[in-house]
Structure 1
Amino acid sequence: MATNVKALLEGHDANSKALGAPGREWLSYGGLRDLSAEVSASLRGFGIGPSDRVAIVLPNGPEMASAFVTIAQAATTAPLNPAYREDEYAFYLEDLGAKAIVLADGYDGPALAAAKTLGLMVLRTVVAEGAPAGYFTLSADGATGDALPASDPTDGDVALILHTSGTTSRPKIVPLLQSNVAASAHNIAKSLNLTADDRCLNVMPLFHIHGLLAAVSASLSVGASIWCAPGFDALRFFGWMRDATPTWYTAVPTMHQAILTRAGRNADVIAEVPLRFLRSSSASLPAQVMEQLRETFNAPVIEAYGMTEAAHQMCCNPFDRQKPGAVGVAAGPEVRVAHETENRLIDGTGEVVISGPNVTPGYESNPDANAKNFFESDGKRWFRTGDQGAFDEDGFLHLTGRLKEIINRGGEKVSPLEVDGVLLDHPAIAQVVTFALPHPKLGEEVAAAVVLKDGVAATERDIRDFAATRMADFKVPRKVIILDEIPKGATGKMQRIGLAEKLGLVEPA
């Protein structure tokens, strides 16, 4: 079994398809391995060694996928969101200690400005006319370092470095080793029964762990192919599906919901391109949406549970049984429940913890966070996920929410996921996110933001009355805000923390 990124690509048929994209020829596995050798030689020629950090700011698509895979075989990759502003790039590039940045040929945006201010080496991906998907050459803008001898990173070197989302505090740096990435790719491929005959239609952003590991790395580990869309667009999804002929795709729940709104008028594509399965991760998939997807695509909907610190996947619903509302069984690392304040494992409801070869060795330069989030028990090192949950009698994990998101209404604890699930049964509601609203006496009150289905009306009173017949009074949202769209983060996830401020319901802290 591969223990580093380079080994993930080895042993697959050189002529089989690796990377595709709209209107492009496929890049073969042989071509991807050749590109890997070329990129490694270029980086060493520019004076970049195995432990140097290379930021990557490229649009979603095949070059972003191939840049990650090839640079990770020679240095430490640090993919960044192409939508950041200059001050954001300046923060992340400096915080990461990046030595170089990879940009598209001709790009002249805020990432370049920040890189120049910090004195970074600027490298360009040059894509020749008619080149297969993902193929590029690297060129340098200006001066580079002294050339270094050829060398490969070790399994213990850092392959990928990402920041946590930092919704409530300064983002933490998460280094993922070559061995972490390889272990997670194998875990995902195994849980999805991936083979070389599979093809993933990737609509996930490739600056995020979900797309990098589940769509790209897991597919490459078995010699499967990835068709790289230029991002997510519900209006273009079914056209891409027809062109790509995938066997599966992976997305976050809000993307699945947007796809469902277009599915009725694209029944012919769904019939023409039967999917083996659909995958959902990065946020809890409402049970109602899982059932709709299963009925619409006539295929299993595999919900998985992941996070950056685990190199993505921790749990996954098995193919022979999917439980709506559960994030599946342990699928790679060992998954247990711990006491929320004491460093010990418990039965029942508590904080979800994990241990395994896919788990980061620890946050970088942050001893306080490491002391808080890691502990030793039963001879193993456990990572605290920050999620609250419990296992049922079948070994399926049910999450009640992020510990920081659990609403404390005058001492009564309310799971926002539970309230979401009830409100989604309302015939007029298409999307919902339940969140905490500060309250002068209770501390926090329950609030919900909802998006109504097209052509259906409902009032705040209708929704609250509906909820009141289905849950205890203290769980019923005291405020319901009806919106055209719920604010989302960079990866399409709806964010509970800070939503009251975003919606102007409280003064910013």
Structure 2
Amino acid sequence: MAVPAAASVRDANRYRPPEVSDLAGLLDRQVRERPYSRALVVTGERVPLSYRDLAALADDVAARLREAGLGRGDAVGLICANSAEFVVALLGAARAGLVTAPLDPALPPTQLACRLTALGARAVLLDASASGAGALPVPAWPLRVDVSRAGAAVVSLEPGACGAPRMTAASAELSDRDALVLFTAGTTDRAKMVPLSHANVAASVRNICATYELGPGDATVAVMPLFHGHGLFAALLSSLASGGCVLLPERGRFSAGTFWDDMRAVDATWFTAVPAIHEILLDRAEREYPGPRAPRLKFVRSCSAPLNTATQRALERTFGAPLLSAYGMTESSHQATSEPLPQRGALRQGSVGRPTGVAVRVVDRGGRTCPAGVEGEVWVQGPTVARGYLGDGDESARTFVDGWLHTGDLGTLDEDGYLSLTGRIKNLINRGGEKISPEHVEDILAGCPGVAEAAVFAVPDAVYGQRVGAAVVLREGDTVDREEILRYCHDHLAAFEVPDRVELVAALPYTAKGGLDRKAVQARYAP
């Protein structure tokens, strides 16, 4: 079943997304129409930075980068926390015509070096959060944004000589039509480089703004890291394009202890996070949620990993706002589907919503479209889909076929075009020929009274090939035991899906993106 991109187009009497054509011009309309409105709120003092001032800082950085000898289409790395430095560097590089590759500051210097070398970067911009700059293979240029309590801001960047053009398989494929290169490990050990054009970025931003009807009256807190698509597209770029405001938490990362104070400080109307963060906020809500003093939220968004239904409903009751699940990936410039705002459509239990500006198909192993309700691989096509991977023609040929992105995710589409995800093809556990989705078993386990979260993994077995194992984290203060958990599983799962082994653990490992680290789970609990 295919859902055409036109299904998400709104008629003339409804909300219209901002007119954005590229990353370089993301701020232009806001600078013209509301130059003194808040764009960012930064530092521990929560100082506002206006659209006019943010654009001026970005222009300053752009001029300095051009003076350093960088040319249009050249690649630069960006190693920053969620800070004013990240935003100014990103926009400044775009205005200089450069292609920016945001990198995780927590990566070891050796991995950062490998990625910069593979990309053919000519320099890297970094803030105080980056370490090991001396070990990087390209010139490292520290950048600092100083913001006074009055809101005045200056940028410090003194680039030296940039590296000579580094022709690699990746850099040879870049041009000034490209805006970003995002790294994704996916399901392989080697990080893949995803080039996103200005057209990809603009389409993604327009789709996200339209889905949630974001505008100048909206504000959010940047919970997710900006070096991944979730935080970059959904929280930062869509807010700035629509004239809203983004608070960047002190120390550049999510803090449950200050989250609600940050939300109140900007009178936030929404936020987006991975399920692990939603679970943390829910577990701490009795002590920390400000109740009537909390900002009135239009919606809460969840993406990047499956959110179980029990948690979704508990969050809605606690925060008094609809929780909208979305689905996306780096290769589709983040969002591909989302549940609609309540006034724009019905919410479907277990669904990640309808396509947003793209076409979605669910196909069988032969590439034939599956009937409604029948499981298959999810394919995505549209203006947000990348053209392939840099420097990896074989993987590109397998993943991007005739304009369709083969996601590797399993799911179903219903008669109304709502997508439900059932797992990852490569995650399936094969127990004596029975294919088991760990994501499905995890969702059931999360509904067991006393269970906070769970990770399901394959346990090698001489007879069945694989059996089902589960690592379970209990809610604080609960004393449910393994036998109770297994009884619940027997009542809610097919017999072959019931875990053969249940481990009670204090915490589960997560990736920098906020998703469950399945490789770490397998290595830690499967032996």
| Whole-angstrom CA distance in 1 between matches of 2:253 and 2:213 | 25
Match of 2:135 among 110, 114, 132: 114
Per the alignment, do residues 478 and 60 of structure 1 end up closer, same or farther by CA in structure 2, a change over 3 Å counting? Answer: same
Partner of 1:189: 209
Is the 8 Å Cα contact of residues 73 and 159 (structure 1) preserved in structure 2?
A: no
Partner of 1:125: 143
Alignment of 1:31-180 (within 5 A): 31-74=53-96, 75-104=98-127, 109-110=131-132, 112-115=133-136, 118=137, 120-128=138-146, 130=148, 135-140=153-158, 142-144=160-162, 157-180=177-200
Match of 1:209 among 229, 253, 261: 229
Is the 8 Å Cα contact of residues 62 and 134 (structure 1) preserved in structure 2?
A: no
Partner of 2:3: none
Is the 8 Å Cα contact of residues 221 and 271 (structure 2) preserved in structure 1?
A: yes
Partner of 2:263: 241
Partner of 1:325: 350
Alignment of 1:183-332 (within 5 A): 183-229=203-249, 230-269=252-291, 271-320=293-342, 321-332=346-357
Is the 8 Å Cα contact of residues 27 and 132 (structure 1) preserved in structure 2?
A: no
Tell me the matched-pair count.
488
Alignment of 1:438-453 (within 5 A): 438-453=460-475
Local SS of the residue matching 1:162? strand
Q: Which runs of 5+ in 2 are unaligned?
A: 1-18, 165-173
Report deviation, 1:289: 1.0
| Whole-angstrom CA distance in 2 between matches of 1:267 and 1:363 | 43
| Whole-angstrom CA distance in 1 between matches of 2:103 and 2:277 | 21
Amino acid paired to 1:268: P
| Whole-angstrom CA distance in 2 between matches of 1:232 and 1:293 | 18
The reply to whether residue 335 of structure 1 matches residue 329 of structure 2 is no
Q: Deviations over 1:262-291 (max 9, x none)?
A: 212234355441111111100111111110
Report deviation, 1:136: 4.9
Partner of 1:5: 23
| Whole-angstrom CA distance in 2 between matches of 1:362 and 1:426 | 41
| Whole-angstrom CA distance in 1 between matches of 2:149 and 2:408 | 44
Q: Deviations over 1:89-146 (max 9, x none)?
A: 12111121111111226x6722x0222xx2x122121233627779552523543479
Match of 1:17 among 38, 51, 55: 38
Partner of 2:171: none
Please, what is the CA RMSD of the aligned residues?
A: 2.1
Partner of 2:405: 383
Q: Percent of aligned positions with the same letter in both sequences?
A: 37
Is the 8 Å Cα contact of residues 65 and 212 (structure 1) preserved in structure 2?
A: no
Local SS of the residue matching 1:219? helix
Report deviation, 1:400: 0.6
Instruction: Report which stretch shifted further, 315-324 or 434-443.
Output: 434-443
Amino acid paired to 1:495: D
Report deviation, 1:423: 1.3
| Whole-angstrom CA distance in 1 between matches of 2:497 and 2:299 | 35
| Whole-angstrom CA distance in 1 between matches of 2:445 and 2:93 | 45
Q: Deviations over 1:317-354 (max 9, x none)?
A: 011222231111111211111233x3444433211011
Partner of 2:521: 499
Is the 8 Å Cα contact of residues 343 and 375 (structure 1) preserved in structure 2?
A: no
Partner of 1:413: 435
Per the alignment, do residues 299 and 155 of structure 1 end up closer, same or farther by CA in structure 2, a change over 3 Å counting? Answer: farther
Q: Which runs of 5+ in 1 are unaligned?
A: 147-153
Per the alignment, do residues 71 and 136 of structure 1 end up closer, same or farther by CA in structure 2, a change over 3 Å counting? Answer: farther
Report deviation, 1:188: 0.5
Is the 8 Å Cα contact of residues 247 and 262 (structure 2) preserved in structure 1?
A: no
Is the 8 Å Cα contact of residues 260 and 290 (structure 2) preserved in structure 1?
A: no
Instruction: Report which stretch shifted further, 241-250 or 170-179.
Output: 241-250
| Whole-angstrom CA distance in 2 between matches of 1:108 and 1:234 | 23
Is the 8 Å Cα contact of residues 452 and 475 (structure 2) preserved in structure 1?
A: yes
Is the 8 Å Cα contact of residues 260 and 294 (structure 2) preserved in structure 1?
A: no
The reply to whether residue 365 of structure 1 matches residue 381 of structure 2 is no
Amino acid paired to 1:190: A
| Whole-angstrom CA distance in 2 between matches of 1:56 and 1:286 | 34
Local SS of the residue matching 2:158? strand
Per the alignment, do residues 439 and 201 of structure 1 end up closer, same or farther by CA in structure 2, a change over 3 Å counting? Answer: same
Report deviation, 1:155: 9.6
Per the alignment, do residues 135 and 493 of structure 1 end up closer, same or farther by CA in structure 2, a change over 3 Å counting? Answer: farther
| Whole-angstrom CA distance in 2 between matches of 1:208 and 1:291 | 27
Amino acid paired to 2:391: S
| Whole-angstrom CA distance in 2 between matches of 1:286 and 1:32 | 39
| Whole-angstrom CA distance in 2 between matches of 1:71 and 1:134 | 22
